[in-house]
Amino acid sequence: MSDVITTDLLVIGAGSGGLSVAAGAVQMGARVVLIEKGRMGGDCLNYGCIPSKSLLAAAKAARHLSHPGQMGAQIDGFSVDFKKAHDHVHQVIASIAPHDSVERFEKLGVTVIKGAARFTGPREVMADGKTIRAKRIIIATGSSARVPPIDGLDQIHYYTNETIFDLETRPDHLLIIGAGPIGLEMAQAFRRLGSDVTVLERFKPLPKDDPDLAAVALDQLSAEGIDIRSDIDIKQVRAADGGVEIKAQKDGQDLTIRGSHLLIAAGRAPNVGGLDLAAAGVEHSEKGIPTDARLRTSNKRIFAIGDVRGGLQFTHVAGYEAGIVIRNALFRLPSKADYTAVPWVTYTDPELAQVGLTEAEARERHGDAVQILTADYKDNDRARTEGITAGRVKLMVKDGRPIGASMVGVAAGELIQIWALAISQKLKVSAVAGMIAPYPTLGEINKRVAGAYFTDRLFSDRMKKIVRFIQKLG
């Protein structure tokens, strides 16, 4: 017979969401069991956010050295050591890993079980020969790279985000299937580190972002020598000449694209395999596990958070949902998730950031009641001093309150945060327009675009008449 463990909360998956629930709940006094079959820290630490941004940082350093610009710098004998870039990525992962380790969580009081979890009943799970019975269960198993059904793909060696960071030698010519955030971030990273890069996309690149602003980022990628091809229908892949050959069509014309390595970045699939969710009465599909606003599954004692839900697949969303689950599962509070002000960032250079509604969404939902305001990086003094004038902010406003913000430019992921705060707290545009921003900073861009809301009112003929009348009074 297996060992039987009873607990208050059982968390399946030690990624960002699961770890947040486990750490928070145990420190509040709950008994917590955590099950993880792979690496602690999940996709974000080991295969996603951390390694990708670390590689991008190495690539940005290479870019700065190879293109010092017109500010007086001169660098001779520049070269890239790809192995050192690889080592940097893994050193960063290693530096963060102790925070997510089994040892740390066991010190917190969490019972950690290494093994695959399988439901055996509505409140019961088996893992590593143990039976765990819990009052509440949280599924936080995340997602994995979705592999498209392309003829021949199963016959060749290809990379996903789970394996690409293990490369110790630079690819001569990296082919990437998928022009979403992951595909384009990796395209720029490898290009800046010296690889030729071709990106193939079935539809259009960055489809979820504002097309005007996405075009700024895409133009920069193309200017750096990345070959981005959209509306590509891939028919077959095969090994050829020690590399990869792709047969495709565009507008009815046959294409042959050859490269040395292939990266699949064609979306994500929720990790539900092997859980035997039917035994727990948890409805699910290939799109993920549906939940209500309290993040409860069809079995109301079982919650799902993060990528496995199939919704917004971001680390910060999983962390936010962890807080919602703790309030529901521990305190029985009817706390509901609100995704109105969830920001996201594509970490290309320039960065592309979004929170709330895009212009298209705002116009579709509110028609003429929405006002679109813009401000350009080229009109910002700090951007001029740094030579980073390619960028723009677009603000969607209704009834004096921001309902969406889109941004492209250096540090867009940092600058978007003030609009995430404003939208989540339902602040008026005047709150940002009236703040005192230090000069010269990129942050003044947000103050400038907010101030544009009042331009027509302040400098109107009516205002001029009011001022002239007051001045006549002495």
> Residues annotated in the binding site for FAD, as ranges?
53, 141-143, 307
For residue 412, give the nearest of 442, 375, 374, 382 by alpha carbon: 442
Handedness of CA 226, 231, 352, 312 (dihedral sign): negative
Feature table: binding site for NAD(+): 178-185, 201, 267
The number of angstroms, rounded, from the C-alpha of 165 to the middle of its chain's C-alpha atoms is 17
Q: What is the dihedral of CA 451, 456, 459, 465, to 10 degrees?
A: -140
For residue 285 the two structure tokens come to 């599909």
Please report which residue ranges of 109-242 form alpha helices under DSSP H.
181-192, 211-223
Feature table: binding site: 53, 141-143, 178-185, 201, 267, 307
196-200/227-229 β-pairing: parallel
- C-alpha distances (whole Å) from 8 to each of 5, 76, 133, 359 are 10, 62, 8, 45
Residue 122 and residue 281 in contact, taking contact as beta carbons nearer than 8 Å: yes
Please report which residue ranges of 193-314 form alpha helices under DSSP H.
211-223
Q: Residues for the chain: how many in total?
A: 474
Half-sphere exposure at residue 39, Cβ-oriented, CA atoms within 13 angstroms: 15
Q: Quick one: which H or E segment has residue 18?
A: helix 16-27
Residue 55 and residue 87 in contact, taking contact as beta carbons nearer than 8 Å: no
Residue 202 and residue 227 in contact, taking contact as beta carbons nearer than 8 Å: no
Residue 120 and residue 111 in contact, taking contact as beta carbons nearer than 8 Å: no
For residue 286 the two structure tokens come to 């290939």
For residue 111, give the nearest of 25, 4, 31 by alpha carbon: 31
C-alpha span between 66 and 283 (Å, rounded): 53
DSSP SS3 for 318? helix
Computed over its alpha carbons, how large is the radius of gyration of the chain? 25
Residue 277 and residue 289 in contact, taking contact as beta carbons nearer than 8 Å: yes
